[in-house]
Amino acid sequence: MSSWVAGFRSAVISPYEQIKLNESRSFADQTVRQVLRMAGGGTQVRVRLTNRYGVAPLVVGAARLALRKNADEIVAESDAPLLFEGRDRLVIPAGAEAVSDPIDLAVTAGTDLLLSLYLPESTGLATFSHEPAEIAYVTNGNETAAASLTLSEEVPARFFVTGIDVRAESSVTVAFGDSWFEGVGTTLGANHRSVDYFNERLTDGWAVNQGIAGNRLLSTEIGESGLARFDRDVRAVPGATRVLVNFGINDLILGAMAGQPPATAAELIAGFTELAERAHAAGLVIHAATIGPYAGCVYPGMPIEETLPTRRAVNEWLRGTDVFDGVFDVAAAVADPERPDFIRPEFDSGDGMHLNDAGAHAMAATMPVD
């Protein structure tokens, strides 16, 4: 019997954080049309909107959903209004979320949908996904029903949306982690993230992407910590039966942007152990990735040399521990054999700490399908 399960997810952050990789923005009397690639399909869909980190109510004057034809152009015959408890206008209080009424729209894995939101009043800085490897189209006025937008601006972020549920019979894997899941370094708009390639390998169910670039397992910013957001972004995902975890690089080096010390091996091991225990308590199977190489990081001010021994120690523990149901060795798969703290040149996006399309493909090959 079919039920509501997650067919698409997009993890969001606050626009008011100290550590930033990308800036949010506000909207007023504008339409935002966003590309949402479905990981799995079903006979009906419902959309999840958010004002989780807003400081004022969010007014949505109109919302529509359609199949994507090309760029910002919709398949006109598929276009349908989104209603919320029967109403086409929605006010989401600060800190709250909303789920649309179901609409009959058959979608399959790999379907691109276009979500159009008209935001008539000033929104303040938007709750957003800051590095989704996809674009949003922004134009003035209410063009939610337009076949294609007039003079649209392209913005590499997502705003006010956390997911789409589908009516289906399926199990869902949650890819939970950082930029190596979200897709930084891969081709914009090409759906070449590691999670996308992983979905091509799955024959039973699908995986939704809850990666946040810069996210840390132990510390807030960028985004709430992995431990803090686990209940919402994994446990509460409808249909979730498994979770794949990729954390560690940011715990070791990102805090330097705010004058914070790196995590220790003992702290990371304790955090990973807690995550495994909480997943098992929720009845979820959990697999963890080894921490990838980053010695070639080109960004100044990062504590690279001093944290590499911690990375090696945690990876040694990961490879030998039984607290997880399995460990997938991403580090070994993408490391330069001659310099194992560095990414292989053919997999390096160019910044020494992110994977390009080929690297994301190699990472996906390590991720367990059952």
Could you give the CA distance from residue 317 to residue 273 in angstroms, rounded to a whole number? 11
- Name the CA radius of gyration of the chain, rounded: 20
First to last CA, the chain: 22
Place of tokens 């937008």: 149
Amino acid found at 360: A
Is residue 8 within 8 Å of residue 39, measured between CB atoms?
yes
What digits encode the pLDDT tens for the residues 225-260? Answer: 999 999 999 999 999 999 999 999 999 999 999 999
Tokens for 30, please give them. Answer: 């504008």
Candidates 3.40.50.1110, 3.40.50.1860, 2.60.40.1220, 1.10.10.10; CATH matching 171-366: 3.40.50.1110
* C-alpha–C-alpha distance, residues 111 and 65, integer Å: 13
| Whether the model pTM is above 0.85 | yes
CA geometry: angle 178, 180, 184, nearest 5 deg: 100
CA-CA distance, 71 to 134, in Å (whole number)? 11
Pairwise CA distance, residues 98 & 161, whole Å = 10
Q: Are 114 and 70 in contact (CB under 8 A)?
A: no
How far is Cα 10 from Cα 368, in angstroms, rounded to an integer?
22
Total residue count of the chain as it appears in this document? 370
Tens-binned pLDDT, residue by residue, of the chain (370 aa): 789 999 999 999 999 999 999 999 999 999 999 999 999 999 999 999 999 999 999 999 999 999 999 999 999 999 999 999 999 999 999 999 999 999 999 999 999 999 999 999 999 999 999 999 999 999 999 999 999 999 899 999 999 999 999 999 999 999 999 999 999 999 999 999 999 999 999 999 999 999 999 999 999 999 999 999 999 999 999 999 999 999 999 999 999 999 999 999 999 999 999 999 999 999 999 999 999 999 999 999 999 999 999 999 999 999 999 999 999 999 999 999 999 999 999 999 999 999 999 999 999 999 999 8
3-state secondary structure 319-350: HHCCCCCEEECHHHHHEECCEEEEECHHHECC
Q: Say how far apart CA 324 and CA 276 lie, in whole Å.
A: 6
Closest CA to 34 of 177, 189, 184, 151: 189
Residues 340 and 119: their CA atoms lie apart, in Å, by: 49
Residue ranges of the alpha helices (H) in 185-329?
Answer: 194-201, 226-230, 249-253, 265-281, 308-320
Tokens of 159: 């705003």
- pLDDT tens for 295-335 read 999 999 999 999 999 999 999 999 999 999 999 999 999 99
The enclosing H or E element of 363 equals: helix 357-366
For the purposes of burial, counting CB atoms within 10 Å of the CB of 210, is it exposed (0-12), middle (13-18) or buried (19 or more)? buried
DSSP lists the bridge partners of residue 73 as 70
Residue 135, preceding peptide bond in cis (omega within 30° of 0)? no
Residue 163 exposure: Cα atoms within 13 Å on the Cβ side = 26
The Cα 49–Cα 60 span in angstroms is 10
Distance of alpha carbon 2 from alpha carbon 73, whole angstroms: 31
| β-sheet bridge partners, residue 64 | 81, 116
Q: Which residue has the tokens 């000033």?
A: 122
**Residue type for 92, please?**
I
* Residue 138, strand partner residues: 32, 153
| Domain spans in the chain, listed from the N-terminal domain onward | 3-164, 171-366
